[in-house]
Amino acid sequence: MAIIETEATLHDAHRDNHTHRDVNGGWLRPAVFGAMDGLVSNFALMAGVAGGAVSQQTVIITGLSGLAAGAFSMAAGEYTSVASQRELVEAELDVERRELRKHPADEERELAELYVSRGVEPELAREVARQLSQDPEQALEIHAREELGIDPSDLPSPMVAAVSSFASFALGALIPVLPYLLGASALWPAVILALLGLFACGAVVAKVTARSWWFSGLRQLALGGAAAGVTYLLGSVFGTFAG
C-alpha cells in the first residue's frame, strides 16, 4: 500500500512539475511585440518632433499619423507575409496529394522508412504506415507533419494576422498620444506613460521567456527610452538648423 501511494505521489509530482512554457508564444507573443513596436516607434517619432520645439497640435497630428501609418503598414505587411506563406504551403500540399494519389505504395514505404529511421522496428513501422495510409486525408496530414513540419488543418489566416497586427500596433502607438489627446501640452506626461507601457510590455514578454518580469521590463524600458532619447536629440538638432 505504501509503495502504491509513493508511486502515485511521484506521478503527481512529475505531472505538476512537467509543464512547459509556450515556446511558440501563441497569441501572446505577436500581440505583445506588435504593441511594443507601436509604442516604441510612435513614442520615438513624437519625441523627435517634440524636440524640434513645435506646437502641441503638430505633435498630436504626428502621433496620430504615425499610429495610422504604422498600423496599416503592419496589417498590410502581415497579410501579405501570411498569405504568401499559406499559398506556398498549399502548393506543397497539392504536390504531396498528387504523389499519394499516383504512387500510394511508394509513399507508404517512405513513411515506414521514416519511422524506422526514428527507432521503430521495421515490421511495426510498416504496419503503422499501412494503417495510417488507408485514409487519404489522414495520410496527407501525416506526411505533411513528418516531411514538411506543418499541420494542414491549422494553417494561419492572413486576415486574422492582419487584424491582430493592426489592433496591437495601434494600441501601443496610442499610449504616447493619449496624454496630448487628454489636454497635455508638454512631452513629459507622454514620456511617463510611454515608459510605464514599455515596462509593462517587457514584463508581459517574460511570460514566454525564462527571464524574470522585472528584468524584461527594465530592459524594454531602457531600449525604448534610449530610442526616444536619441530621436529627441536629433529633433532638437534638426529644429535648430531649420530655425
Q: pLDDT for 183-239, tens place per residue?
A: 998 899 999 999 999 999 888 878 767 778 899 889 989 998 999 999 999 988 887
Alpha-carbon gap, residue 236 to 239, rounded angstroms: 5
For cell 495510409, the residue is 133
Entry field: residues in the chain: 243
Question: Domain extents for the chain?
Answer: 28-235
> What is the model's pLDDT at position 1?
47
Tell me, letter by letter, the H, E, C secondary structure of 99-151: HHHHCHHHHHHHHHHHHHHCCCCHHHHHHHHHHHCCCHHHHHHHHHHHHHCCC
Largest Cα–Cα separation, the chain: 87
**Is the model more confident about 241 or about 106?**
106
